[in-house]
């Protein structure tokens, strides 16, 4: 399967028509020192060599039988409770859905009685269910009469905190009735570029109010880290637009104000100013000082 490259593997053999489980890893990237197998579960413990981060991986192939799945959730919950604070990934075929939208049939969607127990298993263990990219369903019946999302990566919080840019994607399937799932982690581009801003922005009128109102108005669904990441990306784009309106071309705006101030000065010499023009002179002078401070702050930073 992997040619001459340096790989190792652990497996649980099939029993009759029941499919087996296989985990393969690159020896240059991963060191595995423990492997164990139980009904419907193949587990390994190891570390990523480059980062020296230890991890646990549970490869799941759940039964279609309702009672067997309940027993599996109970068994997995007990094992995961012992791994609190560890980096854990649980995947891939759970033979269960989390809501009716994850299952479709041309006979109409019916409420699955194992939804409640599967959701309880995820909530009780604190597992994080990543958003699925690429497609909505991962399993397709041969005649196209029904489809479901039976496959997923579930991660404990410590895994997501260490690798916050985890992306779960369903890719094209071939002869299988399941879509392969890919969990990718980009260490070099671990997330959105940081939101950088100039300190002087806070001094501009309306800045704080704009940020508060914009942040509250942003609606993103998902687990906490994903929501924070996406909202930061959105607020970053909003600040770019705000900046272009309020801060862009400061020197040009100062020059225009200076010209207007000179015109008002000339009017003083020629015969005085009206009450309105005196107020305008005060405002122009104030704006010149304010924008000059902002320009100086930008240059300093």
CA proximity to 165, closest of 102, 219, 233, 119: 233
Q: Looking only at Cα atoms, what is the longest distance across the chain?
A: 105
Kindly report the length of the chain. 301
What are the structure tokens assigned to 136, written together? 């909505």
Supply the DSSP symbol for 15. Answer: B
Q: Is 81 exposed, middle or buried (0-12, 13-18, 19+ CB in 10 A)?
A: exposed
Report how far apart, in Å, the C-alpha atoms of 140 and of each of 18, 103, 128, 291 are. 18, 10, 24, 62
Which one has a higher pLDDT value, 203 or 122? 122
What are the residues facing 15 on neighbouring strands? 18
- Contact status, residue 10 vs residue 23, Cβ threshold 8 Å: yes
Q: Is the pLDDT of residue 195 over 60?
A: no
Of 62-71, 76-85, 135-144, 287-296, the range with the lowest mean pLDDT is 287-296
CA proximity to 135, closest of 170, 101, 100, 93: 170
Q: Where in the chain is the domain with CATH 3.60.10.10?
A: 7-184
Residue 59 — φ and ψ, nearest 5°? Answer: -95, 120
Report how far apart, in Å, the C-alpha atoms of 169 and of each of 105, 109, 152, 190 are. 23, 24, 9, 16
Give me the mean pLDDT over the 138-167 stretch: 89
- Contact status, residue 54 vs residue 46, Cβ threshold 8 Å: yes
Q: What is the pTM of this model?
A: 0.63
161 alpha carbon, distance to own chain's centre: 11
Q: How does residue 190 score in pLDDT terms, banded at 50, 70 and 90?
A: very low
- Contact status, residue 45 vs residue 59, Cβ threshold 8 Å: no
Report the pLDDT value the prediction gives residue 119, as an integer from 0 to 100: 92
Q: Is the pLDDT of residue 91 over 90?
A: yes
Q: Does domain 7-184 have CATH number 3.60.10.10?
A: yes
**Which residue has tokens 């497996």?**
11
CA proximity to 56, closest of 34, 24, 73: 34
Which one has a higher pLDDT value, 38 or 269? 38
**Which residue has tokens 């784009």?**
237
Ranges of beta strands (E only) in 163-288 are: 167-170, 181-184
Q: How does residue 75 score in pLDDT terms, banded at 50, 70 and 90?
A: very high
B/e letters for 116-153, b = 16+ CB within 10 Å, e = fewer, are eebeebbeebebbbbebeeeebbbbeeeeebbbbbbbb
Report how far apart, in Å, the C-alpha atoms of 30 and of each of 8, 13, 119, 152, 213 are. 10, 23, 31, 22, 46
Of 56-70, 126-140, 227-241, the range with the lowest mean pLDDT is 227-241
Q: Which percentage of the chain shows pLDDT scores above 90?
A: 39
């Amino acid at each position: 399967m992997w040619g001459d490259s340096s790989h190792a593997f652990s497996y649980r053999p099939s029993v009759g028509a029941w499919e087996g489980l296989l985990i393969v890893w690159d020896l240059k990237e991963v060191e595995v020192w423990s492997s164990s197998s139980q009904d419907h579960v193949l587990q390994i413990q190891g570390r990523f060599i480059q980062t020296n981060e230890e991890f646990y991986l549970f490869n799941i192939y759940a039964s279609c039988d309702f009672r067997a799945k309940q027993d599996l959730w109970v068994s997995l919950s007990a094992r995961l409770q012992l791994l609190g604070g560890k980096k854990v990934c649980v995947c891939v075929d759970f033979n269960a859905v989390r809501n009716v939208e994850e299952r479709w049939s041309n006979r109409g969607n019916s409420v699955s009685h194992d939804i409640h127990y599967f959701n309880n298993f995820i909530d009780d263990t604190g597992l994080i269910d990543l958003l699925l990219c690429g497609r909505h369903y991962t399993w397709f019946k041969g005649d196209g009469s029904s489809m479901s999302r039976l496959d997923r990566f579930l991660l404990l919080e410590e895994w997501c905190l260490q690798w916050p840019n985890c992306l779960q994607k369903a890719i094209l399937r071939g002869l299988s009735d399941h879509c392969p799932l890919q969990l990718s982690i980009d260490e070099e581009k671990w997330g959105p570029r940081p939101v950088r801003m100039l300190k002087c922005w806070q001094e501009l009128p309306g800045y704080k109010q704009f940020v508060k109102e914009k942040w509250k108005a942003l609606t993103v669904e998902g687990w906490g880290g994903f929501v924070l990441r996406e909202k930061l990306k959105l607020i970053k784009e909003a600040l770019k637009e705000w900046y272009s309106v309020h801060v862009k071309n400061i020197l040009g705006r100062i020059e225009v104000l200076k010209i207007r101030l000179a015109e008002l000065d000339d009017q003083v010499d020629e015969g005085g100013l009206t009450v309105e023009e005196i107020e305008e002179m005060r405002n122009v002078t104030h704006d010149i000082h304010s924008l000059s401070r902002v320009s100086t702050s930008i240059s300093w930073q």
